Structure 1
Amino acid sequence: MHKAFTSLLWRQALLVLLAALPVASARAQIESYRDQHPLEQQALTDPDAVLLSIQPLRKRAEQSGDHLTLARLALAEANACRVKADWFCQRRAGSLATEAARNGNDPYLEIRGLIMTARGHAAMQDFNSAETALGEASARLRHLNEPTLRADVALAYSSISASLGKSELAQRYAESGIAELPPGQALPLRVRLLRNLAKAAVDLRRFERAREALFEAQELVLKIDDPKLRGEIWLEYGRLALARQDPEETKRMASLIGKEALMLKNSQLSGLSLELAARGEILSGNVIKAEQGLIDAARKFRELDLYRDEIRVVREVVRLHASRTDVGTFREMLDRLNELSEQVTEREREIATDDFEDRLRYAEQEAELTQANARAEADRLLAASATRTSQLSRVIAVVSVIAVVALAGLYLMLRRTMRRLKHAEAERVNAMLRVSHDLRNPLNGILGLCASLRSKALDQQSQQLVASIESATQGMGALAQDLLDHGQLERGKLGLKLRAVQLGTNLRAFAEQYKARAYARGLEFKLVVDSRIPAAVEVDADRLQQVLGNLLGNAMKFTQQGYVGLSVRCLQQTPTQVELEFAVDDSGHGIAANELARLFRPFEKGEEGARHRSGAGLGLAISQDLVQLMGGRIEVSSDLGRGTRFQFRLSLPVVDPGYPDEAPSQEPPPVAGRRVLLVDDDLLNREFHVLLLNAMDCDVRTAETAEQALILARQEDFGACLLDYELPDAKGTELARELRSVFSARGVKPRIVAVSGHAPSSSLGRDLVDDWVMKPTSLERLREALEA
């Protein structure tokens, strides 16, 4: 298999070599962008000539006020700078193109300028500025139907992700960019996306995917007259052979790249070919030959001031020297390595300084040009009429003052707008939390009335009506919980409660309820739990079940026939850590590819989901946020008409199986017969809680206010207190603290249980309340809180 791959790779390499022959240059160039300046294409083969040609053309365009020509010339300059690896020049030229396009009111050229600027920032490791420029380009693209530019933005994001070591993300961006491009169009851009895809696939050791991408790229590069891009495809072939530990193929590829570099007179490509050949020699065990090749490569990079490439090669030379006895040469290379590190640091500082100084010089030149024009105009006017000169000066002064005042006013307006936006965002989140809380009180009461009605002798129709009311109320309760979770996640207030869990047992018990629901809908339920899962792991079991419940609920909602499945697979395990893969799949209708990107956005529903009116579109967004809190990420794959699969991976600590979910404890005192103080200002909720407490044979005393509660606490002994945490005359923390004080003075310590529509605060201590119950309340949850 390996020999077949090598032979195929070699034949493909020969095909690409043919692309370098003069015959290929006669092929028609298939452009990536419309309305390009001819110099932009010429920059690919002769960047120095292009940089010399641009200056006189730019002056003529400035004199005629032709902003669009200025933008195209700036893009040509940026492309020439990119070929020469002058990233500062590329960034500056991209900014000039953006500004000129804005002045000419051409959004297409403006977006191209932003993308070119972002690439310059990224090459200089300024990823924040690069992302800002790409974000602005993406915002402009929302109003344009330009798939080529969308693919170009994806290419830039892919390159940034690769620079940050995020190979998985780099591959996804490259694939999304390829999907944007219409077939047969923008071939250079498609080849660059395939190059990025291959590079990411090699880093992820997905060699077959990398080979497929390179095979497609080599077929397209035959049609393109871009020597630098052709060399980059060669280089990725070499990296693939190196990653596959194939020394002979690596050296053969390096030899072909060297020939390409010699034809192009490209020292950087020559240095890269020497480095690749040396790494092939390392694989062959020829350390001395490899060392010499690396030294030659370092010299090539040094000639071009490519410090980062040189430091990478020098480090490899030092590593080779460390295994040999040539102490003098080793020390020389180590000194050079330190010198290079200092040069790289100094160079980065110089780049940042040069950026500021260049902008300053540009501003000074503009100011000098404006002053010269003003003096010439003043001389002409003075010769014509001294009065006219005076009038013109006054007009200029007034306009200047107006401009300054207008700019100051605009600045203040922008500041106020930003403050309002931040305030509006905070109000939106708070409003969601308030709505969630305010929904819980009436829902709690409605459930109480339903429970009361169920205890009556009702005919069958009335029982069905009560069941329908109860089901609708529970649905509203789930919506209120989703709103609360979403608001807390946006504010960063939701945390995980980790505990030791017997995961296999826990999941099997959890799956039973969904198995019954699946059978009721005529569906098969498949449960697969890997036997290698440790006896106990540390995880927030409630939040994990919430995520799996959301995924299973959606699967059942959109599956009419077939099956719904839940599987947990052990990927790898150490004595202290285990990596698990959770998956939910179904045989439903599936999800269209154009809907996958917005699937996890809050309040979003796909075409199929829009047919189901239940739910607010928060379940998947909350599930993704919760999984990310646990250290994973939900991924989705779907095939229309065949089904959908959601999966995520979690790395969980393995804990001592001697500490299962529920440690043995003493039998709690019975609830029946306890005297309970119930404090709630809402009549409906009081009646509901009285009903639940009476069902547990409790002796109940009720109070509407904190003052009434304290009076009863001083008069009687209570075994438990159930208090609403949002009373009109006191905060829940204050009442709990005063009740503790009253009971301590009398020598008793009843359980205090808080009931609220909000989740408990992380700062709430056990010295105030013993448990926290969220509305709507159930009999089982209330019994658990009182018995604990």
Structure 2
Amino acid sequence: MKNVNLLILDDKEENIISLSALLADVQHINIIRSTDPNEALKICWKNDIAIALVDVQMPDINGFEFVSLLKSNPKTNHIMAIMVTAISKEDRYLLKGLESGAIDYLYKPLNPEITVAKVTSFVNQIHIQEEIKQKNIALEESKKQLTLAKEEAEEARKSKESFLANMSHEIRTPINGIIGIIHMLRNSQLNPEQQDWIHRLDIASNSLLLIINDILDISKIDSGMMKVENESFSIRQKLEDIRNIFKVKATDKQLDFEMDIDPRLPNYVKSDPLRIQQIINNFISNSLKFTESGKITLKAEVLAQSNTESTVRMTVTDTGIGVKPDAIDKIFLAFEQADDGITKKFGGTGLGLAIVKRLADLLNGTVEASSVYGEGSAFSFQATFEHAQDFPREEKMDKKVFSKLDKFENLRILIAEDNDLNSFMLAHMLESWGCKVDNVKNGRLAVEKVNNSEYDLIMMDTHMPIMSGFEAIKEIKKSENPQKSFIPIITISASVLEHEQAAAYEAGADSVIGKPFDPLDLHQKISKLISKKRVQP
């Protein structure tokens, strides 16, 4: 514990000696002596004096005046002044001392016990104040560190978000071109061998797209950017759709695919159908990957039910290679698989089940896994669903090849896209729908083209050199010519981040389509925008 500097001021040396002797046993003090008030003031200015025992009756400057001088100076106003006096104990003298700034009195002749007790008490008080001061300093430093850590975390989040946006754009853009070329080749005359090549290329491109989606999904969930929707849907129909998707794939591997649905399963529930399908799809995809013979079963059972809600467990069981007992606990961790050999043999990022675990948490559900190594595994998702009423069904889109979709009449479209492959693919697709197409490679050229030509629709990439798609949209939309400012604009974005898609609408876009896109989706968006434009006054 740090020693406290204590000043004794008395014009009589013998009084200083006796008081110093009296305080000799008080711990944690350094005694500094003075018989001259002016010298004592200098000592207080130059030294860290904490307590001053001041005699009241002194020539030139009395004790009241000395304490007043201490309290009037910012460098010394913290000093605890204690008056030492032999004069009357009348209230007027006590008040005078307190008014000057003193905090206590000691009366001569001094009582040793009282004197030591008071000085010790003030020394302890100073130590407590110093401890509080140090803790406040530490607390402020801790607050600064927390603020800095928060700022660094926010900066890291923004950097991660920016990286994800860039990675999404850089990877999805070429994938979009590849998938577009696949669509084009399917519309051409191919022999059976070439059709097989296209089929294999389609599988490879979709596998690459799944990998990038996994990476983006895990990042979005971890950063709190993943949102779940709560809507009414048919859980029975959702399971039927999933079975129809995977039954073909199971048949290709010569596997049986069975479904066991509890008759008590409610017809309609409220939840996020996309995320539920993502969970079940992942379970079944894993089973397909690790099962060479036998069967895969999708089972839905009601564990508890009331008039308003049902607790449902959906389980996918397989007869695959199974998981070793010591590895079962880590399969829901990101970048983990049952053993290193699985990655080498079967591939995969090790993110699928980690995403499933996080999605289940977002849906207030749980996931479980059990396995007998060499015999098979079972993966289940359990959640409580609120019952819902019937809802209007959307008409299913007819999955035609894009060249057989309805043609547009006298439609002139401007494509602003800096990627040659995507520009070529998109122009070919639009021309197959009877459109006349112009191409530019940046936003500045797009603005110039719009100013000098007439267009019915603009397809605008968001990330381009010289002038971005967002900037170009704003330039076009603020045109004083209503024929220019009201041209429908569809942005083509390779980002799946919500804020970037929202930014497109804020800039003035009329619709957004992501890369890679479904030709039928694009056709429907164009039809909707053109119909809307034609009915405008």
TM-score normalised to the size of structure 1?
0.43
- CA positional deviation for 1:714: 4.1
Equivalent position SS for 1:495: coil
Matched residue, 1:468:
200
Corresponding position: 1:696 with 2:437: no
Contact kept, 8 Å, 1:713 with 1:743, in 2: the verdict is no
Equivalent position SS for 2:345: coil
Equivalent position SS for 1:525: strand
- CA positional deviation for 1:428: 5.6
Corresponding position: 1:635 with 2:371: no
- CA positional deviation for 1:557: 0.5
Distance 1:631 1:743 in 2: 52
| Match for residue 485 of structure 1 among 217, 227, 242 | 217
Matched residue, 1:508:
240
1:498/1:726 Cα in 2 relative to 1: closer, same or farther (>3 Å)?
farther
| Match for residue 265 of structure 2 among 533, 545, 548 | 533
Distance 2:484 2:415 in 1: 20
Matched residue, 1:783:
523
- CA positional deviation for 1:751: 4.5
- CA positional deviation for 1:500: 2.7
Matched residue, 2:83:
none
1:670/1:432 Cα in 2 relative to 1: closer, same or farther (>3 Å)?
same
Contact kept, 8 Å, 1:598 with 1:604, in 2: the verdict is yes
Distance 1:531 1:714 in 2: 63
Corresponding position: 1:616 with 2:349: yes
Deviates more, 1:525-534 or 1:506-515: 525-534
Pairing of 1:424-439 with structure 2 (within 5 A): 427=159, 430-439=162-171
Distance 2:488 2:311 in 1: 40
Letter in 1 for 2:435: C
Contact kept, 8 Å, 1:482 with 1:619, in 2: the verdict is yes
- CA positional deviation for 1:695: 3.3
- CA positional deviation for 1:596: 1.7
Distance 2:296 2:455 in 1: 50
1:651/1:713 Cα in 2 relative to 1: closer, same or farther (>3 Å)?
farther
- 1:49-73 Cα deviation digits (max 9, x unpaired): xxxxxxxxxxxxxxxxxxxxxxxxx
Equivalent position SS for 2:331: coil
Corresponding position: 1:753 with 2:485: no
- 1:597-655 Cα deviation digits (max 9, x unpaired): 21122111222632434321111111221221112121111122322111112233333
Corresponding position: 1:706 with 2:443: yes
- CA positional deviation for 1:687: 0.8
- 1:101-132 Cα deviation digits (max 9, x unpaired): xxxxxxxxxxxxxxxxxxxxxxxxxxxxxxxx
1:680/1:493 Cα in 2 relative to 1: closer, same or farther (>3 Å)?
same
Letter in 1 for 2:517: T
Letter in 2 for 1:585: T
Corresponding position: 1:518 with 2:250: yes
1:575/1:739 Cα in 2 relative to 1: closer, same or farther (>3 Å)?
farther
1:769/1:565 Cα in 2 relative to 1: closer, same or farther (>3 Å)?
farther
Distance 1:498 1:739 in 2: 37
Contact kept, 8 Å, 2:242 with 2:277, in 1: the verdict is yes
Equivalent position SS for 2:327: helix
Contact kept, 8 Å, 1:501 with 1:661, in 2: the verdict is no
Distance 2:236 2:294 in 1: 25
Letter in 1 for 2:415: L
Corresponding position: 1:625 with 2:358: yes
Contact kept, 8 Å, 1:448 with 1:687, in 2: the verdict is no
Matched residue, 1:441:
173
Matched residue, 1:268:
none
Contact kept, 8 Å, 1:536 with 1:656, in 2: the verdict is yes
Contact kept, 8 Å, 1:485 with 1:622, in 2: the verdict is yes
1:431/1:705 Cα in 2 relative to 1: closer, same or farther (>3 Å)?
closer
Distance 2:503 2:262 in 1: 39
Distance 2:384 2:457 in 1: 41
Distance 1:642 1:488 in 2: 35
Equivalent position SS for 2:330: coil
Matched residue, 1:288:
none
Equivalent position SS for 2:526: helix
- CA positional deviation for 1:720: 3.6
Matched residue, 2:14:
none
| Match for residue 686 of structure 1 among 423, 429, 438 | 423
Distance 1:502 1:751 in 2: 35
Equivalent position SS for 2:472: helix
Corresponding position: 1:726 with 2:459: no
| Match for residue 672 of structure 1 among 389, 393, 408 | 408
Distance 1:743 1:526 in 2: 63
Distance 1:684 1:635 in 2: 44
Contact kept, 8 Å, 1:433 with 1:487, in 2: the verdict is no
Contact kept, 8 Å, 1:429 with 1:490, in 2: the verdict is no
- Write 1 or 2 for the structure with the bigger share of strand: 2
Contact kept, 8 Å, 2:442 with 2:468, in 1: the verdict is no
Distance 2:156 2:227 in 1: 25
Unpaired segments ≥5 residues, structure 2: 1-123, 128-143, 397-404, 529-537
Contact kept, 8 Å, 2:289 with 2:346, in 1: the verdict is no
1:650/1:415 Cα in 2 relative to 1: closer, same or farther (>3 Å)?
closer
- CA positional deviation for 1:494: 1.6
- CA positional deviation for 1:701: 3.0
Matched residue, 1:284:
none
Contact kept, 8 Å, 1:504 with 1:535, in 2: the verdict is yes
Distance 1:741 1:538 in 2: 42
Contact kept, 8 Å, 2:478 with 2:485, in 1: the verdict is no
**Larger Cα Rg: Structure 1 or Structure 2?**
2
Matched residue, 1:282:
none
Distance 2:444 2:162 in 1: 29
Pairing of 1:200-219 with structure 2 (within 5 A): none
Distance 1:638 1:574 in 2: 32
Equivalent position SS for 1:449: helix
Distance 1:603 1:719 in 2: 48
Letter in 2 for 1:672: F
- Write 1 or 2 for the structure with the bigger share of helix: 1
Corresponding position: 1:657 with 2:367: no
Contact kept, 8 Å, 2:442 with 2:466, in 1: the verdict is yes
Contact kept, 8 Å, 1:500 with 1:660, in 2: the verdict is no
Distance 1:741 1:517 in 2: 51
Contact kept, 8 Å, 1:585 with 1:643, in 2: the verdict is yes
TM-score normalised to the size of structure 2?
0.61
Pairing of 1:208-287 with structure 2 (within 5 A): none
Letter in 2 for 1:637: S
Distance 1:576 1:787 in 2: 41
- CA positional deviation for 1:760: 4.5
Contact kept, 8 Å, 2:157 with 2:223, in 1: the verdict is no
Contact kept, 8 Å, 1:635 with 1:648, in 2: the verdict is yes
Corresponding position: 1:570 with 2:302: yes
Greater relative contact order, per chain length (Cα 8 Å cut-off, separation 6+): 2
Contact kept, 8 Å, 2:412 with 2:456, in 1: the verdict is yes
- 1:319-365 Cα deviation digits (max 9, x unpaired): xxxxxxxxxxxxxxxxxxxxxxxxxxxxxxxxxxxxxxxxxx9xx9x
Contact kept, 8 Å, 1:591 with 1:644, in 2: the verdict is yes
1:469/1:747 Cα in 2 relative to 1: closer, same or farther (>3 Å)?
closer
- 1:375-420 Cα deviation digits (max 9, x unpaired): xxxxxxxxxxxxxxxxxxxxxxxxxxxxxxxxxxxxx999999988
Distance 2:318 2:374 in 1: 11
Aligned length, in residue pairs: 380
